[in-house]
Structure 1
């Protein structure tokens, strides 16, 4: 079984209530792997975010917070201290592709500054282009309500509980402070300012 189909089997089996595309079938043909999946209804949030009203954004941010909370409550099928990808292997993130001596340095120093964190199921790339939204109707006050679907789970895995915030803060969507997404995401994710500072230093050091 390949990493990609293991990933979707995990989501289906353990966190089926997370808003992700459903997996219908997996098959091989001519040594290629094919996944038959649900086509998430709606449009990417990045294409409509600037045109949304404040109440629209309130609804979407609340749905995103619920999705993230569901991820944080997920139980791992591996030991409680497991860190890794959804296929049970290593994490797939460039920060872990370090030269040997630098990796050793962080291995020794990291526990002294990033303590008291637990492994948490993490999407790993929450940004508007990876959130598909579909309008589902209006409430009694005439405000629109939306369904959301998180797509692009390639970076997902079991990371420290601050990782979702770090990864979301490191996306291109955060480069422009004139867009309120950078502020709004704080309503959906737990904020880890000290951990963010350390991780940003490591990220810059990697480059």
Structure 2
């Protein structure tokens, strides 16, 4: 192989849109496919849940999402939707366009939160699965209590110390309503065109969670650029703020 030749790709040929941690997004004309190339790696078995979530959202809301064409444990193929991520587009948007996009997003979150549930966990029945932005992997958990036990018992802490952290998770385990949750609302997952949202992307963590979950992980998923764009507006997207819950989860994860 010469220096100008690329190694054989572990996925069908196409335009690579994204490539990170054995995960690829490849465009093939009017469709895109998300691949996981390592069977036990990051993102394994997320695609069936994303497929179910997208179909559920299409059936029960008017939130714009890509049409699912096919899916398997290692991939999902969807229609390609033209646009920019909100992260890319934000600097060029007018104030009116930003206001319109935030109003759309506020409505989409409200539509999801009206889809109450009677159990906790992902659409595919895996239970509560910790998003990848955590520092350590965990789940699925059958209940929020199992999740909280995991949060307060990291490997580096003595068992006796965990009793103090239970004071925090006692609050997080209070009776919150269960609502449908995207789980990764971020500027990188919002596709815009012509000053409007044309698709909400990346539903692999979607499912039914306590109503503070969306707020907490929308803030937790922000990077330094997002904090200067969408970050300051996130509280306005919800009818109630969950700042204490955000601080408690942040603290738990920092000392985990």
User: TM-score, structure 2 length as denominator?
Assistant: 0.62
Paired residue for 2:171, among 91, 98, 113? 113
Q: Distance in 2 between matches of 1:65 and 1:100?
A: 30
> Is 1:161 aligned with 2:219?
no
Is 1:60–1:148's contact at 8 Å kept on the other side of the alignment? no
Is 1:120–1:160's contact at 8 Å kept on the other side of the alignment? yes
**Residue of structure 2 in register with 1:22 after alignment:** 67
Between Structure 1 and Structure 2, whose CA radius of gyration is higher? 2
Q: Distance in 2 between matches of 1:85 and 1:117?
A: 17
In the TM superposition, residue 178 of structure 1 has moved relative to its aligned partner by 7.2
In the TM superposition, residue 49 of structure 1 has moved relative to its aligned partner by 0.4
Of 41-50 and 4-13, more deviation after overlay is shown by: 4-13
User: Which deviations, in whole Å up to 9, do the C-alpha atoms of 1:16-56 show, x marking residues without a partner?
Assistant: 32322111234x6xxx7553312123111111101211111
User: Which deviations, in whole Å up to 9, do the C-alpha atoms of 1:136-178 show, x marking residues without a partner?
Assistant: xxxxxxxxx51331111222222211111111111233x3597
Pairs aligned (count): 187
- After superposition, the CA RMSD in angstroms is 3.0
Q: Distance in 1 between matches of 2:212 and 2:152?
A: 25
Which residues of 2 match residues 89-108 of structure 1 at below 5 A? 89-93=126-130, 94=134, 97=138, 102=153, 105=162
**Residue of structure 1 in register with 2:190 after alignment:** 131
**Residue of structure 2 in register with 1:5 after alignment:** 48
Q: Secondary structure at the match of 1:125?
A: coil
Q: Secondary structure at the match of 2:198?
A: strand
Q: Distance in 1 between matches of 2:218 and 2:76?
A: 27
In the TM superposition, residue 110 of structure 1 has moved relative to its aligned partner by 5.1
Of 105-114 and 57-66, more deviation after overlay is shown by: 105-114
**Residue of structure 2 in register with 1:40 after alignment:** 81
Give unpaired runs (5+ residues) of structure 2.
1-44, 139-148
**Residue of structure 1 in register with 2:237 after alignment:** 188
Q: Distance in 2 between matches of 1:70 and 1:46?
A: 23
Q: Secondary structure at the match of 1:102?
A: coil
Q: Distance in 2 between matches of 1:100 and 1:66?
A: 32
Give unpaired runs (5+ residues) of structure 1.
136-144
**Residue of structure 2 in register with 1:84 after alignment:** 121
Structure with the greater relative contact order (CA < 8 A, sep ≥ 6): 1 or 2? Answer: 1
